[in-house]
Amino acid sequence: MLLTLEDGKKAVKLARKAIETYLAKGKIIKERYPGVFEEKRGVFTTLTKQGLLRGCIGFPYPVKRLDEAIIESAIAAATEDPRFPPVKLEEMKEIVVEVTILTKPEKINAKPIDLPKHVEIGKHGLIVKKGIYSGLLLPQVAVEYNMDAEEFLSQTCMKAGLPPDCWLVDAEVYRFEGQIFKEVEPNGEIIEVDIKSCKF
């Protein structure tokens, strides 16, 4: 079930409120919403500052209620992304909050050489798994960096800490779709992003 724009606005506002409350008071908000927010859904929260990534963490699989998953992924994106120092409260005035709601990942059952044919840029995100290694890239990443399907597969392998050609050698590849809602400017109007139009 797709989210409406109103649901998307609620999702982004919930993410921002979760981060700001946690940074200000050390508390995890307990808000729960009806409807689609009661469903278990995968979700990622992405934070950008002046157009640059500032944090991105989430749940690839539908293991929690959507509202709960948004709250937890938002706080984690702000405080636990190992690539960045934790966000400070005053920084939130400069940070754009983006929430991506995921469909359940499905394994692509195809010969490795044929995998690129099953990946549609602008529609699919990818998960690559091999042994203890796993990496995920959201659908918007391929569009933002102008990747074709083969490069997107290779970059997802590298995100997993594997060689870029691992998708050709026994890795499990999953695809999923994402609905993206984001602020136009920090704490500003919230829109649904059409990935294919690449308006990030």
In the chain, the DSSP E strands lie at 42-49, 52-59, 95-102, 106-107, 124-130, 133-137, 172-183, 190-193
Q: Domain 5-103+178-197 is classified in which CATH homologous superfamily?
A: Hypothetical protein ph0010; domain 1 (3.30.700.20)
Domain at 106-176: CATH architecture? 2-Layer Sandwich (3.30)
Query: With contact defined as beta carbons under 8 Å apart, do 99 and 45 qualify?
Result: yes
Query: With contact defined as beta carbons under 8 Å apart, do 43 and 69 qualify?
Result: yes
Q: Which pLDDT score, from 0 to 100, does residue 192 have?
A: 96
* Spans of all domains in the chain: 5-103+178-197, 106-176
Beta pairing partners, 59 = 43
d(CA 10, CA 20): 15
7 token code pair = 């649901």
Q: Which pLDDT score, from 0 to 100, does residue 170 have?
A: 86
Q: Coil, strand or helix: which one is 142?
A: helix
Q: pLDDT tens, position by position, for the chain (200 residues)?
A: 789 999 999 999 999 999 999 999 999 999 999 999 999 999 999 999 999 999 999 999 999 999 999 999 999 999 999 999 999 999 999 999 999 999 999 999 999 999 999 999 999 999 999 999 999 999 999 999 999 999 999 999 999 999 999 999 989 999 999 999 999 999 999 999 988 765 44
Q: Which pLDDT score, from 0 to 100, does residue 198 have?
A: 55
Q: Which amino acid is at 75?
A: I
